[in-house]
Amino acid sequence: MKKPVETLKSYITDVADFPKKGIIFKDITSLLESPKGVKICLDSLLSGLTNKQIDKVVAVEARGFFFGMLLAQSLKVPFVPVRKPRKLPRKVVSQSFDLEYGSDVLEMHQNAIKPGDKILIHDDVLATGGTAEAVCKMVESLGGQIVQCNFIMKLDFLEGVQKLAPHPIYAAISY
């Protein structure tokens, strides 16, 4: 019988040269199509949270929303979306971060986090860590305490874990 992590890997589709040449895109839509795969993935993410108190789940647009919402529901805590600029209607905090070429900005509602809230950050893929680092900065600027950043998968050769240190990282799959 395959180990759960090997089973989980079998639901991820590698798409070569997307969105540009040289990138292997880790497509999770094939995972989302499988209720069994979704359960294995969710169970794995939850297993990394045993004995940890989480007050809110903060997840990144757009692919972080799928399991972010499932995690929030499973943990019975609020879900807080992080979005691209000009999507959120109330007062926001913004954080810019560097991309390979240029930069990007993420936003979250200013009143979504209260000082002392214990936060789980979730996204689908940890690559260089720039995205998650920007989210960590926003959460901390509002007084939130980051308990863990969790991901469906991390790409170890891009050293995102090092970039996010000392925040604890959990990934259901590592490549």
With tokens 């809110």, the residue in question is 56
Q: Closest distance between ligand AMP and the C-beta of residue 46, in Å?
A: 21
Is 107 annotated as catalytic? no
DSSP β-ladder status, 13-16 and 24-27: antiparallel
Helix ranges (DSSP H) in 48-110:
64-75
Catalytic residue among 6, 86, 100, 159: 100
Q: What are the residues binding ligand AMP (CB under 6 A)?
A: 23-26, 60, 63, 123-131, 160
CB nearer to ligand AMP: pick between 15 and 111: 15
**Active-site choice (63, 83, 107, 140):** 63
Instruction: Supply the minimum distance, in Å, between the C-beta of residue 10 and ligand AMP.
Output: 17
Question: What is the SS3 assignment for 90?
Answer: coil
Residues linked to residue 173 through DSSP beta bridges, in sequence order: 153
Q: Is the Cβ of residue 97 or residue 109 nearer to ligand AMP in the bound state?
A: 97
Retrieve residue 138's tokens: 């926003």
Q: Is the dihedral of CA 10, 49, 35, 60 positive or negative?
A: negative
Closer by beta carbon to ligand AMP, 53 or else 156: 156
Cβ nearer to ligand AMP, comparing 107 with 124: 124
Kindly state the smallest distance separating residue 170's Cβ from ligand AMP, in Å. Answer: 15
Give the C-alpha separation, 18 to 142, whole Å. Answer: 35
At closest approach, how far in Å is the CB of 169 from ligand AMP?
11
* Residue 63 a catalytic site member: yes
Strand residues in the chain grouped as ranges (E): 13-16, 24-27, 56-60, 79-82, 92-98, 103-109, 118-126, 145-154, 169-174
Active site residues: 63, 100
